[in-house]
């Protein structure tokens, strides 16, 4: 008990110190530390949740068809005076803000810098005021409790025995407590993995919603958005450590929390040129300067609702559905099938006694619904937009005076529009088994089309011409080149960004067959522009990027002038950067992941002439990375494949 008392004392002391700063105060991490001392099993629970989250991220695509989650919310208003007893309208304003922020419908999303707009995400999470209590009685979702306690700390607001309100079933509802928080705090949350009796978020009555008692600069409801983010297992964007990790790949590493409303870009932790993502809801900026979640954050949150996820019970909760009236129950079993680029057929489980159904559907980013009807439990939708996500919900009509509530919102994504590819004489050659043989020293023109297409070729060296070079030119987009030996083992690759030509050279190779693979990076393709492929064989050694003509050398050519090269590529546990420098001084090698997040920044001394530096990659997982060399005013980059 001495340890617990000390933890509470330190927590209170920290609250007072934070209050002295006058900035946004989120004590979620301090609350976690306090709970871990009271119940050490929380550490094990959170470790298990993190393992599940990582497995989900590794095996699930966020572009696939799935249900949009709707979370029932109960707001416990705990007040000691009439000012703290906030109005129904103020509560409603906060629920609207949560729905807008988590569905990327917030009006200020247009302020997202263009460099981050590509990762700004619709989290596909909705919120509704609970329509029934855990016992099944009708409810507004608002629980008002008068108390003699003037302010709260350390979860005391979550229990009637300490002047607060008891939680509703945390597997079926999101509990939000609104009260007078002590220590100048704006709010805090409980991460998944803690006790159900304290699960939820706590918000100061002066930082809830955007009307009534909400006080500037925290008067736009973003405190609740931030804390619900924690409740959905999102960390502070700076990882609560200097240049720490928030366990998300598409948020830039940043030095620490941001306050107020910074100027873009704000560069820290060598995260230039774009700098901190201070407009993310998980930073500490003012409400008016928060307006985005990222795709990576969305994936972490969505993992909680997958089968086996720690909050999966909310998916099947009936908290948003009022007790049925007249026997007309809400439709369930929503599904979408026969999906094309312009159409889809919706189905659902038939409702006993229903004479017809109302169907509402819309583009996920749209603000209004299109309504249609059906006399059966299916409906074909037409004239849809290709490659777009639609939301839909169903209402049963049992008689002129009896209708159900609308179902939970479900979604589907239309397929891409069909592509008319140019005529390619070499198709099908989409695998090593279906390669097309080509002659040496001859240009071949072909298409990568449609998306996902890949082309395989075979050429042959002879004892009199064992050296070869493969070139890939006239590229419409970022195409990559791979070369394999006669048994199909990868020898090397050339994988520059953009439309830079690709070249692979090998001297002194084994006489026999070699295979070439051409693909579009990340699925890019062109239905109208052909690339040019050529396999050149020679009796003389061919010049490689570093000027050498060594036997059995496998190397990816990058720059004939500077000799900049990264090898081996693919790499396993290390790679070497080699290049000719024009200066005496310091150069920097940086490694970025596929989302552009800086992973390593390594300066080293260089002198005029040939320089080499070896970097360890044992900590990197398999995948593509970008290696960038900054040498004075010169900058070079190459795509690196880690394959262990």
User: Is residue 227 flagged as an active site residue?
Assistant: yes
What's the token pair of residue 284?
């500490």
* Catalytic residue, candidates 65, 227, 551, 552: 227
Q: Which two tokens stand for residue 474?
A: 């006239």
End-to-end CA distance of the chain: 49
The whole-angstrom separation of Cα 227 and Cα 224 is 5
Element (H, E) at 610: strand 609-616
The two most distant CA atoms of the chain are separated, in Å, by 96
Task: Give yes or no for a contact between 615 and 600, defined as CB atoms under 8 angstroms apart.
Answer: yes
Structure tokens that stand for 323 in this block = 């007790």
Which distant-in-sequence residues (6+ apart) come within 8 Å of 96 by Cβ? none
H or E segment at 29? Answer: helix 28-38
CA torsion sign for 59, 63, 65, 71 is positive
Task: Please give the Cα distance from 196 to 313 (Å, whole number).
Answer: 12
Query: Which of left, alpha, beta for 523 (phi over 0: left; psi -120 to 50: alpha)?
Result: left
Q: How far is CA 418 from CA 318, 344, 421, 451, 527, in A?
A: 40, 16, 9, 11, 11
Per the CB < 8 A criterion, the answer to whether 345 and 379 are in contact is yes
The b/e string for 256-270 (b: 16+ C-beta within 10 A; e otherwise) is bbbbeebebbbebbe
| DSSP, residue by residue, 124-149 | -EEEEE-SB-TTS-B--SEEEEE-S-
405-408-409 Cα angle (round to 5): 120
User: Count of CB atoms within 10 A of residue 245's CB?
Assistant: 15
Phi, psi (5° rounding) for residue 556?
Answer: -95, 120
Pairing mode, strands 623-631 and 585-593: antiparallel
**Using CA atoms, how far apart are residues 502 and 535, in angstroms rounded to an integer?**
12
Torsion-angle region of residue 308: left (phi > 0), alpha (psi -120 to 50) or beta?
Answer: left
| CA distances to 144, 249, 258, 284, 506 from 226, in Å | 23, 19, 14, 9, 55
What is the C-alpha to C-alpha distance for residues 304 and 313, in angstroms, rounded to an integer?
10
Q: How far is Cα 423 from Cα 309, in angstroms, rounded to an integer?
A: 48
Quick one: which H or E segment has residue 114? Answer: helix 114-117
Q: How far apart are CA 114 and CA 561, in angstroms?
A: 34
Q: How far apart are CA 192 and CA 144, in angstroms?
A: 25
Helix (H, G, I), strand (E, B) or coil at 583: coil
| Residue whose C-alpha is closest to residue 70's, from 566, 353, 349, 405 | 405
Active site residues: 227
């Amino acid at each position: 008990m001495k340890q617990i008392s000390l933890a509470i004392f330190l927590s209170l002391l920290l609250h007072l110190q934070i209050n002295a700063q006058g900035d946004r105060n989120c004590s979620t991490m301090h609350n976690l530390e306090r709970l871990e001392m009271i119940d050490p099993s929380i550490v094990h629970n959170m470790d298990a949740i993190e393992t599940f989250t990582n497995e989900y991220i590794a095996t699930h695509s966020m572009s696939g068809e799935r249900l949009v989650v709707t979370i029932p919310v109960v707001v416990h208003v705990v007040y000691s005076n009439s000012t703290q007893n906030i109005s129904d309208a103020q509560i409603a304003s906060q629920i609207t803000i949560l729905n807008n922020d988590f569905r990327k419908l917030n009006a200020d999303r247009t302020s997202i810098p263009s460099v981050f707009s590509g990762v700004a995400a619709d989290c596909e999470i909705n919120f509704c005021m609970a329509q029934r209590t855990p016992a099944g009685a009708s409810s507004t979702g608002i629980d008002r409790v008068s108390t003699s306690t003037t302010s709260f700390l350390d979860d005391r607001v979550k229990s009637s025995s300490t002047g607060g309100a008891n939680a509703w079933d945390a597997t079926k509802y999101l509990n939000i407590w609104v009260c007078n928080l002590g220590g100048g705090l704006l709010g805090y949350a409980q991460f998944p993995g803690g006790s159900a009796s304290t699960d939820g978020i706590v918000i100061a009555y002066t930082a809830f919603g955007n009307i009534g008692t909400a006080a500037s600069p925290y008067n736009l409801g973003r405190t609740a958005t931030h804390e619900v983010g924690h409740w959905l297992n999102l960390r502070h964007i700076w990882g609560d450590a200097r240049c720490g990790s928030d366990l998300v790949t598409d948020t830039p590493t940043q030095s620490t929390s941001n306050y107020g409303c910074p100027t873009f870009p704000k560069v820290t932790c060598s995260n230039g040129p774009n700098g901190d993502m201070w407009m993310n809801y998980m930073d500490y900026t003012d409400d008016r300067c928060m307006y985005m979640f990222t795709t990576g954050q969305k994936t972490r949150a969505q993992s909680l609702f997958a089968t086996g996820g720690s909050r999966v019970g909310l998916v099947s909760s009936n908290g948003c559905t009022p007790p049925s009236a007249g026997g007309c129950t809400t439709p369930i079993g929503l599904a979408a099938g026969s999906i094309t680029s312009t159409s889809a057929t919706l189905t659902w489980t038939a409702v006993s006694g229903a004479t017809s159904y109302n169907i509402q559907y819309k583009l996920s980013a749209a603000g209004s619904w299109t309504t249609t009807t059906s006399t059966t439990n299916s409906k074909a939708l037409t004239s849809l937009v290709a490659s777009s996500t639609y939301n839909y919900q169903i209402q049963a009509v049992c008689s002129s005076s009896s209708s159900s509530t609308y179902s939970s919102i479900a979604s589907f994504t239309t397929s891409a529009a069909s592509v008319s590819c140019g005529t390619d004489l070499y198709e099908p050659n989409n695998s090593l088994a279906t390669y097309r043989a080509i002659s040496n020293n001859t240009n071949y023109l072909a298409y990568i089309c449609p998306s996902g297409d890949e082309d395989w070729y075979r050429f042959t060296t002879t004892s009199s011409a064992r050296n070869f070079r493969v070139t890939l030119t006239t590229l419409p987009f970022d195409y990559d080149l791979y070369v394999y030996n006669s048994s199909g083992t990868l020898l090397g690759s050339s994988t520059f960004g953009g439309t830079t030509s690709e070249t692979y050279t090998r001297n002194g190779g084994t006489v026999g067959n070699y295979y070439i693979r051409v693909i579009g990076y990340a699925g890019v393709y062109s239905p109208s522009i052909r690339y040019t492929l050529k396999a050149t064989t020679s009796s003389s050694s061919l010049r490689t990027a570093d000027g050498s003509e060594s036997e059995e050398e496998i190397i990816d050519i990058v720059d004939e002038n500077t000799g900049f090269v990264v090898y081996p590529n693919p790499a396993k546990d290390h790679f070497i950067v080699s290049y000719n420098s024009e200066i005496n001084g310091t150069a920097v090698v940086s490694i970025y992941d596929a989302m552009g997040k800086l992973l390593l920044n390594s300066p080293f001394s260089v002198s005029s002439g040939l320089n080499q530096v070896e970097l360890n990659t044992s900590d990197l997982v398999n995948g593509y990375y970008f290696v960038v060399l900054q040498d004075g005013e010169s900058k070079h980059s190459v795509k690196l494949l880690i394959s262990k």
